[in-house]
Amino acid sequence: MNFTQKVLSLTSRIPRGKVTTYKAIAEKLNTRAYRAVGTALNKNKNGAWQQAGKRICRRHHAVIPCHRVINSDGNLGGYAHGLKKKIHLLREEGIEIKDNKINLKRYFFKL
């Protein structure tokens, strides 16, 4: 299992309504490659999500919920499909977003 796969694996475990950070994932993998975590998630847009099949996509069930991964300071960070999409998805899960920021104390999911 390479680095990217580990990242995606951990990300897929984040439950609905919770979020985690790039840093947390990196630490879980015993490394400081937070940037590489973002790179890994970005690749996912051309990988698991699309290859998982159109059915799954139509049902609004992303295989790898990369929208639940944010910056360690509460900022949203980025999103391959557009930041607005990320905001929308998170709000659908009941996560409040004010000024493009999330209350980590409240929604953080410890891996």
Partner DNA sequence: TCATTGGCTATCA
Partner DNA sequence: CTGATAGCCAATG
Of the listed pieces 36-44, 51-59, 89-97, 102-110, which binds DNA according to CB under 7 A?
A: 36-44
Alpha-carbon distance of 31 to 38, in angstroms, equals: 14
- Choice from 12, 28, 36, 93 touching DNA (CB under 7 A): 36
The reply to whether 66 belongs to the active site is yes
Alpha-carbon distance of 66 to 62, in angstroms, equals: 8
Instruction: Give how many residues touch DNA by CB under 7 A.
Output: 31
Torsion of CA 42, 46, 48, 50, to 10 degrees: 130
Contact 110, 9 (CB under 8 A): no
Site membership for DNA, residue 42 (CB under 7 A): yes
Contacting positions for DNA (CB under 7 A): 2-4, 21-23, 31-45, 66, 69, 71-73, 75, 77-80
